[in-house]
Amino acid sequence: MYSAYWWTWTSAYIAVMTAFIIPAVCWFFIFCEDCGGAHWMLYIFSMGSIAGPMLLFFIPLILALSNYVVGWKSGWIVDWNHRWTFWVIYFACVIWNVLMIVYSLFMAPAIKIWYMTRGYDVDLEIAKQKEIRARTRAEEQEKAKSRAAVRQCLINPSLCGRVADENRER
């Protein structure tokens, strides 16, 4: 039978590998535009890797705490003259885990934005927006010219025939 110390380190290894190995492998396919399935897998497993810090990483921390309480029989070697070293390392790991959770919660929306906009061409969209703005300006200028012609017609009725002819040509 393995010691509790062995189980602690094995659970830590499994937690890290489970959370991050598949996204690490799928990341290489991010540069392949035709690999939609790999992009989907990267998206799903990256979102799932948030479960590593939230759920899986606490298992080794709990086991380490139980090993500390059990003492030598667990296989955990603790220097009883310097117990504070265990607690400093333990709480450093807890703080690291909490920071990983916060980081993951901030990265989740970024991953989702990447996945939802991965086929989006920014330059093409900017060109379309410029074309729409130019077309809108041209239409506004035409309307302004037409309004000015109607005003001229109201001011000088002798110009009305010419304004009507211009409007028919449009």
pLDDT in tens, 39-89: 888 888 888 887 777 777 777 777 777 777 776 666 666 666 777 777 888
Residue 1's pLDDT band (boundaries 50, 70, 90)?
very low
Model pLDDT, residue 166: 57
CA distance 113 to 115: 5
Whether the pLDDT of residue 165 is over 90: the answer is no
pLDDT in tens, 120-137: 777 888 889 999 999 999
CA distance 122 to 124: 6
Q: Which residue has the higher pLDDT, 158 or 16?
A: 16
DSSP state of 80: G
Whether the pLDDT of residue 158 is over 60: the answer is yes
The structural domains of the chain, with segments of one domain joined by +, span: 4-120, 124-169
Share of the chain above pLDDT 70, in %: 84
CA distance 159 to 170: 17
Token digits of residue 145:
């010219």
Q: Which residue has the higher pLDDT, 32 or 161?
A: 32
Share of the chain above pLDDT 90, in %: 8
Report yes or no: 51 and 39 within 8 Å, Cβ to Cβ: no
Whether the pLDDT of residue 163 is over 60: the answer is no
Report yes or no: 169 and 162 within 8 Å, Cβ to Cβ: no
Report yes or no: 35 and 27 within 8 Å, Cβ to Cβ: no
Report yes or no: 51 and 19 within 8 Å, Cβ to Cβ: yes
Model pLDDT, residue 159: 63
Q: What is the mean pLDDT of the chain?
A: 78
The predicted model gives 134-155 an average pLDDT of 85
Residues 127-142 as b/e (b if ≥16 CB within 10 A, e otherwise) read: eeeeeeeeeeeeeeee
Whether the pLDDT of residue 146 is over 90: the answer is no
Token digits of residue 62:
């709990």
Report yes or no: 62 and 90 within 8 Å, Cβ to Cβ: no
What is the three-class DSSP state of 159? helix
The separation between the first and the last C-alpha atoms of the chain, rounded to the nearest angstrom, is: 92
CA 63 and chain centroid, separation? 32
